[in-house]
Structure 1
């Protein structure tokens, strides 16, 4: 008996009175969830890190996150180009299916090494956000592009509200594998939503080549740098091996730039980066968002690690208690993100972006100093997320304002790749700070209060650096001023 694929949804149109309309609302919801799978994975895997480290007796728990982030960084530009060539909806379905297989390998892994392999495969769905952002201006009418893009970015608030509660409950009642099974189900749900509601978007290119050499050079450069940072505390920051690895990373980065200049279809459009508006937006948003995502895992070491005098200054909370304490900050980031979509239609998007960076940095300093009880964590978590709501929502809006519809796919891929690259580097910086005051017990690393403080300060420094970079962003278009794409009228 022959079978046929389900019909591809038609491109929706806005309601006659200018409202979003029922079909566009469904499309927005279908794009929100899979776009946030990188954040979902970050929440669920962060919640399980303490249990996984103690279960497998490993001091290398940092690579549980780093393996995933490195894969996302390396494959994002290839995924973005495949979307241009084969159609973004088709590639969305492919990477989500691959991600489900990776998560299944993680949840059923008999040892830590197998789990890391699964994490690498699961990273294939990390670039989903690049495809979704690139598709937003094609799916939504011009007046709704800013609202949709802001909602997609700020949907991290929904993740930060609901996922810790669910993950904490699962962790408390079913262990780390229960939470990882929920993550697998979440990716599978994303596949169903895309299949049923996301319309077909015509390919933007008919002949796209893939820059394999650039991918190898970039991946090798990033890996050498991240490994060097991670070994700094062990080898010593003046060790020749450390400088050798950093030097190798720089040489590979230079070779990468030279290869990109010669490539017909470069991994990173270096010439596009020569434009001040594009380069300043990409770099500032990558540092700001990447550092925030890295810092989001700090609550695990503060709240979920046990309190062992002289060994670990964690609070020893249950997953559920940690989620309840974090609820106000999660709600706040969602509300602020939604408000940012409206604000940027009426003011220069650079203003809320800079305010968000400054407030987030201040909140992280507060978290470094005051993280010893529920009241402190709620107050300074809310301060951090007050700024982070603006940071998450405005990044995509800034990018829309400096590139054309034809450049959107490449620019979105570059943005997601850089965010994940910075996220990986910032996470390794954070772990290096944590290791400055750590203790090993039964094969597992635990962290004292000085380590927790240093890690928060390091992340605050990254946010301050992003704020400094934002000074170089020139005036950008507001969302209601941008040119929309093809699917709206298809």
Structure 2
């Protein structure tokens, strides 16, 4: 492993100088890479109503879920390879796979081919873990916190511009235009990575890949998520459901046993043995999974048509939804940047507890009050502050918990936990909202009580995750943790 750390004098000079043109370009390129998945997810979420109606499918949840499953399966291999061969190199590879998948989806003529494309694009799923690890490696120490906070808060940039872009494309060109825009966005991200972002010099030792461990971990977690996703269709006590969920859990247990004995484990179990690490992963995984999963229910609520006696959606256009959510997005950006700066002075656990509480309260309120623009916008202020704090703190808390050479593995593990929990929560939420659904011409429509119960589920998960912050021990402050500087 090679680790190049700035001297205190260099760090101080970089901190005084601010980002500068070069680091600003790198930050913008990494921001695009970090939010590309979110942009595609946002546009896909907005388009799912049209897709469900066009293909007459009640299985629209798999439009987003299949990519998540592939991402979970691939994450152990991708983060391990990134640690050995270079984070930028692996980012370029998985972005190329994402571009191929987007192309397949864009030219698809049936729902099955569309899902194949989304599955291939799922290999891009672990990108956020590699982006955060690169940020720690390529920025000067004094800029790591603000950069990480900005990257986390990039969700706000996405939420601000994404809905307008999505609304324009969806309203004027339909879901097919959205699919083709995914191709364009991924291609731009690939070019930015190739020509702007430097490679990290931080490396793990080149050791044999633990294929068995990777298959057990990735396959086991994917099996659990798939079993939960099919549980309603198969029946929760059916042999298939029990086999996938039980088999996946057994595979994860066997993975733990195997990793204790192999010379070069895919994921060092000792890493998760540290309380600061496993508690941080658990808490951030729960809160972030609920945060992202509730967004899909919100989009169904506002974009599904209003049909008396059949559907209690608000029937907004994608463009109207963009205007309503814009103030909340601006707030999220501002709060996330401010949180990245505050994390250098205030215990990150205190900040996360504050953000989690506000987020849980906001989601709980929206479960009861979501009939008018005024209700959604005013409650969005509470949620926006909470979201901004949470998304900025996740990468910062991982940095505070792991060493530079463990950053890719650490982000990968947190991303896997979040991905599995998000997949499970999404499927459980669809089970909850489907209890009072109506199916017409192969399309499921939901009543108001269904949406309320879905939001309450997510509010409860965020609240539990926030309470579990008490398990996280105090770590070094952000300014005291070592970073690798390779730019």
TM-score, shorter chain, exceeding 0.5 = yes
The alpha-carbon deviation at position 201 of structure 1 amounts to 1.8
Residues 16 and 343 from structure 1, CA distance in 2 versus in 1: closer, same or farther, beyond 3 angstroms? closer
1:162 to 1:314, Cα distance in 2 relative to 1, 3 A: same
Task: Tell me if the contact between 1:433 and 1:451 (Cα under 8 Å) persists in the aligned partners.
Answer: yes
Q: Is the 8 A contact 2:213 2:255 kept in 1?
A: yes
Deviations 1:419-450 (A, max 9, x none): 21221111112111111211111011111111
* Aligned-residue offset at 1:238: 5.6
> 5 Å matches for 1:119-198?
119-198=118-197
Moved more, 236-245 or 160-169: 236-245
Matched, 1:400 2:399: yes
Task: List runs of 5+ in structure 1 lacking aligned partners.
Answer: 1-11
Structure 1 residues 450 and 82: alpha-carbon distance in aligned structure 2, compared to 1, 3 A threshold = same
Q: Distance in 2 between matches of 1:406 and 1:100?
A: 29
CA deviations 1:186-244 (Å, max 9, x no partner) are 11111111112111222503413333323333344334433443344456556676455
Separation (CA, whole Å) in 1 of partners of 2:42 and 2:353: 26
Shift of 1:339: 0.7
Question: Relative to structure 1, is the Cα distance of residues 267 and 419 closer, same or farther in structure 2, using a 3 angstrom cutoff?
Answer: farther
The residue matched to 2:58 in structure 1 has which SS? coil
Contact 2:102 2:118 in 1 (8 A): yes
* Pairwise CA distance, 1:253: 2.4
Change (3 A) 1:148 1:308: same
CA RMSD after TM alignment: 1.9
Look up the SS of the partner of 2:445 in the other structure.
Answer: strand
Aligned-partner Cα distance in 2 for 1:219–1:117: 19
Pair 1:481–1:119, CA change in 2 (3 A) = same
**SS across alignment from 1:63:** helix
Higher mean C-alpha deviation, range 74-83 or range 230-239: 230-239
What's the counterpart of residue 88 of structure 1? 87
SS at structure 2 position matched to 1:297: helix
Give the Å deviation of 1:15.
5.0
Residue 435 (structure 2) aligns with: 436
C-alpha distance after superposition, 1:322-368 (max 9, x if no partner):
11111111111111111101111111111111111111111111111
Give matches, 1:231-270, under 5 Å: 231-234=230-233, 242-243=241-242, 245-270=244-269
- Give runs of aligned pairs for residues 327-346 of structure 1, distance below 5 A: 327-346=326-345
Which range moved further: 203-212 or 173-182? 203-212
Identify the residue that residue 416 of structure 1 maps to in structure 2.
Answer: 415
Match of 2:356 in 1: 357
Give the match for residue 298 of structure 2: 299
Identify if the C-alpha distance between structure 1 residues 439 and 186 changes in structure 2 by more than 3 Å, giving closer, same or farther: same
In the other structure, the counterpart of 1:370 is 369
Shift of 1:117: 0.8
- 2:471 is paired with a residue of what secondary structure? coil
Give secondary structure in 1 for the equivalent of 2:438.
Answer: strand
How big is the shift at 1:29?
Answer: 0.9
Distance in 2 between the 1:438 and 1:427 partners?
16
Deviations 1:6-41 (A, max 9, x none): xxxxxx996584322111111111111101122112
Alpha-carbon distance in 2 for matches of 1:243, 1:131: 34
Instruction: Output the CA distance in 1 between the equivalents of 2:305 and 2:182.
Output: 24
Label 1:349 to 1:226 Cα distance change in 2 as closer, same or farther (>3 A). same
Other-structure match for 1:6: none
Aligned residues: 477
**What's the secondary structure of 1:388's corresponding residue?**
helix
What TM-score comes out, normalization by structure 2 length?
A: 0.93
Give yes or no for contact 2:46–2:299 (8 Å, CA) kept in 1. Answer: yes
- The structure-2 alpha-carbon separation of the partners of 1:268 and 1:295, relative to structure 1 and needing over 3 Å to count, comes to farther
Deviation for aligned residue 1:380: 2.0
Distance 1:203 1:72 in 2: 24
Cα 1:376–1:23 shift into 2, 3 Å: same
* Partners of 1:233 and 1:435 within 8 A in 2: no
Contact 1:209/1:264, CA 8 A, preserved across alignment: no
Q: Deviations over 1:293-316 (max 9, x none)?
A: 111112221011111222211111
Change (3 A) 1:405 1:62: same
Q: 1:57 to 1:283 in 2, by over 3 A?
A: same
Instruction: Give the match for residue 33 of structure 1.
Output: 32
Note the 1:288-327 alignment, pairs <5 A.
288-327=287-326
Alignment check: 8 A CA contact 2:75 2:218 kept: no
Is there any run of 5+ residues in structure 2 with no aligned partner, and where?
1-9
Aligned mates of 1:251, 1:29 — CA distance in 2: 42
